[in-house]
Structure 1
């Protein structure tokens, strides 16, 4: 829609014989181009603070007389208002107030164009506008309609100003992103459609502010504070989860997902936001970290705050503020669920770009904002904004939640070996947590390494295989290495290197244990283990080889699950024990997704998609299901089923897609057999105007 016009309503009684406002032309096409807001709304004019926009007023009755009739605009936000006398001028006053002007020579017999500018520190909101035509005898008032005001990262004086155009295109205007998952040795990526140009998304983001606890408890105070991106980010962060409020997403990490959507099945924010509004603000079920973060990124980009989704591989969840993560293993290498702390294979949060006037200048720039409900911050489930620079510089008292974020990327992992409730071995790993931190690179689908921005190089305070002080140590070391990047259907190869740094020969017991786990929780029971006696000479280093056949894990491992393998080496004589462990993901078999005519499709035009899966497993698969879905492209799920899919056979699913709105959308295909998902693939689709 190129033009939004609002019929003016007289709200001041009779005006017979006077100049009357008939129509307001919001000059949407020109304003949206000027303000970089094209496509955000078809209902409202959307402009950015601190930058002039223009309206054309059309009159009826007699013409407006600029010599005897003054024009005064009045902008309303809730119960707050400000009068804006309209001046004849070519210059903007340097003021912290709203201003409006008419360029000399732009007044016509039945219309006038007014240029309006908000203060750069205006609140983000939907505003109402009135016009007063004032003479010495009377005032005639007209309701003009409403407009949306956003942050302005293009404007130097705005606290969210971002200097480079490529960054603005990526972190504000782009409706497409990548979420990195898996492990740092085998990074997986999935596209995400932020969807800020889809119908209803901007309105949902503004509604989120209106139903926040801060707004509901003190509307005027909240309306004033919304000028501050630090405040905005905390409000939005808390509202993305539903733990304290009418928030968007209900998190679930264990058990089934009946009554909702499995978090792995989401591929965009628009569907989630529209469901939340349509349900009268009941939480959408279900979310996990990458879903929470991606929705937060959408809201912040809509509000005009540059944002990006960031993944931390091996993220610590420190529950007791000790900045250490404790893990417990049995003497045979089985990981035990005995600690409230946890180490997530990956965790996803958001970085938002803003100045921090509440802190010193060195803390401006990227700020961590994490909406996944883990720990409370000032009594509510939100986290941040925490300056990335404060994490790197270890300024742990800097607001907000810097100590918790620091532990997420830089805590030590202490691994205990326990026997009958007694610690019989202790290892410290100071390198594992926050091993890689990355985001989508500007203009590319490759990861950008952010680790140096969070972490300085530190001296190694301990390593896997080192014994703790106080426990007898005669120089026994162990290290575990997984060979290559395991793929579904392949055997898992590993090597265990045992080093005897003593002058005595040793008789050792080797215990290796493999367990299935989800990315953020403790492992399930063991699915494979081995015990072996090993003889080692003085100062010898032995390398022991082991293989787990594919048949051992294929029946227990699902897509998106991980494997924990641990080795415990015990000296039979001294009872000394040392441990090492590795957690890794297994690459899923690929699903082919091909769009007829290429990956750019025209709006409102039907296109055929061919989806196929070839059984590369070593066996026939029963109950095979190939599913295709895509928000904004397909309605519902489209399934193809086969009772049996033999080794080497291909199954196909052909669907027709059509998009009604421009932007970037995501197709997702899922293959399962025997009610277990073993592969999930994603495909980016660019929608272009006809």
Structure 2
């Protein structure tokens, strides 16, 4: 009869295991391993020696408050000759002796989270189990090491903002391996309402990244639960900070975790998406942030966005349907065994609270292939995401007497869908993953499946009169510049028209602000046969400075009224005013665990002085998980430089991002960064 081993002590080999499982950046104080991959622990026996066939050891693993063999949250097993990667198993890998090296393996579909391992009669070991995209048996498996470096291990990245005509790459510190962040991510799972209602079932559900992605989509916002972020889309940020103040996820997740799960104030779409990306990567799900320009928000699922303008061409906020200048969400990588074959890969998941799904503010995951093919019955929330990239836009003029009429306007949604490229800061255009080329047979087939008849039956617009908006090559904040309404008459007849050309400040989600400039020409004469008129509108800093929103956006609208036919033509364009560049100069040779300095400079582009100037800086594995703040005591005059020097000590080698934000009384939320290669 085999003799039970008596264990005196054990060594979890955290440094070796965590490195082998690519979790060492979380630290080596606790055991953090990935499912479907063996890990090693060493047992030191109290008496006797281990003898193959003559020694026995029973092991039990459990997760959650109600562990169950039936739900895969508990398993008991003994020693075998070799490990079985399809189930919980253990095998001795050392020769007979007083020290036993034990190789333990979890199945590739084990629930993730905190686990307890009981060794024989007394030893209790705690460890964290994560998804394993390096394991072929895991549903999050990704077969490219280069992509895994980007979508799981990269702690910083680029999020695209701005407009589809002027894309702004914004740096972000995801920081998923910084101290305390994994604990915060596990707490998000433990605080979700499904866990609080039925913790045993929830713990079992964590084997499935579809389930976990849906939980994260709901928990990153706080609308229905003790979620992480509270959204705010007005200029009133009392009790919190502007979403544009954030440079990374670390401070947000730490604030939530250390303040009894009270929501962090405030977030908007790119912040929600970035935090969701940090949590997904921390748990082992490959993830990336995606930006959709001219993103439709269809509230009634009819795939039509209705916009109303007054007789001056200014948008009237009548409908809940809107077009956001851009909208960010995330994509998580996984197979979809719950759907028919062909829908594996990237799945869209949106944590920004917009519409309810199954009674909760969440969205996704939905395969990109389902959106592209118009398969709107597939889980989850396909119609909403399909509308974001494909909705038809109808524009109506609302007259003073209350009547409305449809006017001719060319507005497209779902433009330049963007994400950061693998291994570089360049933009990767992924529009083709969401939609077929416009006018193609495949697009028509997808629209037919989606019952998107509006788009299929859309007639060619009237080519007689055309109106477009052109802008200057450079539109910097602080400068005066011209924008132009360009009217073309392609008819054989001369035209008499009225042209209303206006500008208003606008937020990125389409909420209009104050007037920034206006022109009303009652008698515009257009010559026949491609006669063209170019009408300028001067944008003066003195006029737009106080009205501009934090997004630095101005909406231009040009409305042309044909007196002869009574037809109306509308052109709309959002322009982004360019912030000044933040220059970062590294002083000295960057080395691991050696103090380093950086000089940070910004030139004041405004015609007015800047006061209360402040630089804030952070970077994963650069600033020790902390934010460095440097304030200037002096005023920075127009054309002068705001300059500071900071010191930090990198903790790990490799390429890292030093992310910088500048704020002052007149110029706020200016972002910049510098890639720093840290040597050994």
TM-score normalised by structure 2 residue count? 0.89
CA distance in 1, matches of 2:76, 2:261: 35
CA distance in 1, matches of 2:610, 2:201: 61
Could you list the per-position Cα deviations for residues 443-499 of structure 1 after superposition, in whole angstroms to 9, with x for gaps in the alignment? Answer: 1000000011111123399xxxxxx999x9894332222232422244433333323
**How many angstroms does 1:531 deviate by?**
1.3
Equivalent positions of 1:105-144 (< 5 A) are 106-132=94-120, 141-144=121-124
Structure 2 vs 1, CA of residues 596 and 184 (structure 1 numbering), >3 Å: closer, same or farther? same
**How many angstroms does 1:428 deviate by?**
5.0
CA distance in 2, matches of 1:606, 1:28: 28
| Paired position in structure 2 for 1:505 | 494
CA distance in 2, matches of 1:650, 1:498: 42
| Paired position in structure 1 for 2:164 | 184
Structure 2 vs 1, CA of residues 558 and 637 (structure 1 numbering), >3 Å: closer, same or farther? farther
| Paired position in structure 2 for 1:137 | none
3-state DSSP class of the match of 1:191? strand
Query: Which residue, out of 609, 617, 638, partners 1:647?
Result: 638
CA distance in 1, matches of 2:306, 2:438: 20
Structure 2 vs 1, CA of residues 507 and 256 (structure 1 numbering), >3 Å: closer, same or farther? same
| Paired position in structure 1 for 2:25 | 39
Is the CA contact (8 Å cut-off) linking 1:482 and 1:582 kept in structure 2? Answer: no
Is the CA contact (8 Å cut-off) linking 1:611 and 1:669 kept in structure 2? Answer: no
In the alignment, does 2:56 pair up with 1:56? no
| Paired position in structure 1 for 2:482 | 493
3-state DSSP class of the match of 1:261? coil
| Paired position in structure 1 for 2:269 | 289
In the alignment, does 2:419 pair up with 1:409? no
Equivalent positions of 1:529-608 (< 5 A) are 529-532=518-521, 533-551=523-541, 552-597=543-588, 600=590, 602-603=592-593, 605-608=594-597
CA distance in 1, matches of 2:199, 2:396: 52
Structure 2 vs 1, CA of residues 683 and 101 (structure 1 numbering), >3 Å: closer, same or farther? same
CA distance in 2, matches of 1:274, 1:111: 40
- Root-mean-square deviation (CA, aligned residues, Å) is 2.6
**How many angstroms does 1:238 deviate by?**
1.0
Mean CA deviation greater in 70-79 or 443-452:
70-79
**How many angstroms does 1:407 deviate by?**
0.7
3-state DSSP class of the match of 1:609? strand
Computing the radius of gyration from Cα coordinates, the structure with the larger value is 1
**How many angstroms does 1:500 deviate by?**
3.1
**How many angstroms does 1:67 deviate by?**
5.1
**How many angstroms does 1:573 deviate by?**
4.2
CA distance in 2, matches of 1:395, 1:98: 38
CA distance in 1, matches of 2:462, 2:339: 48
**How many angstroms does 1:689 deviate by?**
7.5
| Paired position in structure 2 for 1:101 | 91
Query: Which residue, out of 417, 421, 424, partners 1:441?
Result: 421
| Paired position in structure 2 for 1:255 | 235
| Paired position in structure 2 for 1:151 | 131
Is the CA contact (8 Å cut-off) linking 1:509 and 1:571 kept in structure 2? Answer: yes
| Paired position in structure 2 for 1:515 | 504
| Paired position in structure 2 for 1:27 | 13
CA distance in 2, matches of 1:18, 1:647: 80
CA distance in 1, matches of 2:676, 2:165: 30
3-state DSSP class of the match of 1:198? coil
Structure 2 vs 1, CA of residues 225 and 183 (structure 1 numbering), >3 Å: closer, same or farther? same
In the alignment, does 2:659 pair up with 1:667? yes
Mean CA deviation greater in 544-553 or 335-344:
544-553
CA distance in 1, matches of 2:432, 2:560: 35
Is the CA contact (8 Å cut-off) linking 1:558 and 1:676 kept in structure 2? Answer: no
Q: Which runs of 5+ in 2 are unaligned?
A: 68-73, 445-456
**How many angstroms does 1:253 deviate by?**
1.2
Mean CA deviation greater in 347-356 or 534-543:
534-543
Structure 2 vs 1, CA of residues 122 and 187 (structure 1 numbering), >3 Å: closer, same or farther? same
Equivalent positions of 1:258-407 (< 5 A) are 258-407=238-387
Is the CA contact (8 Å cut-off) linking 1:353 and 1:365 kept in structure 2? Answer: yes
Could you list the per-position Cα deviations for residues 61-117 of structure 1 after superposition, in whole angstroms to 9, with x for gaps in the alignment? Answer: 444555554111111113322111112x2x4447x53111124xx244321111111
| Paired position in structure 1 for 2:468 | 479
**How many angstroms does 1:662 deviate by?**
7.1
Is the CA contact (8 Å cut-off) linking 1:326 and 1:414 kept in structure 2? Answer: yes
Structure 2 vs 1, CA of residues 441 and 473 (structure 1 numbering), >3 Å: closer, same or farther? closer
Is the CA contact (8 Å cut-off) linking 2:517 and 2:537 kept in structure 1? Answer: no
Number of residue equivalences:
647
Is the CA contact (8 Å cut-off) linking 2:280 and 2:286 kept in structure 1? Answer: yes
Mean CA deviation greater in 330-339 or 578-587:
330-339
Structure 2 vs 1, CA of residues 412 and 244 (structure 1 numbering), >3 Å: closer, same or farther? same
| Paired position in structure 2 for 1:628 | 616
Q: Which runs of 5+ in 1 are unaligned?
A: 1-16, 133-140, 462-467
Structure 2 vs 1, CA of residues 19 and 83 (structure 1 numbering), >3 Å: closer, same or farther? closer
Is the CA contact (8 Å cut-off) linking 1:334 and 1:526 kept in structure 2? Answer: no
3-state DSSP class of the match of 2:26? coil
Mean CA deviation greater in 490-499 or 288-297:
490-499
Is the CA contact (8 Å cut-off) linking 1:336 and 1:522 kept in structure 2? Answer: no
3-state DSSP class of the match of 1:676? coil
| Paired position in structure 2 for 1:171 | 151
Is the CA contact (8 Å cut-off) linking 2:18 and 2:28 kept in structure 1? Answer: no
**How many angstroms does 1:191 deviate by?**
1.3
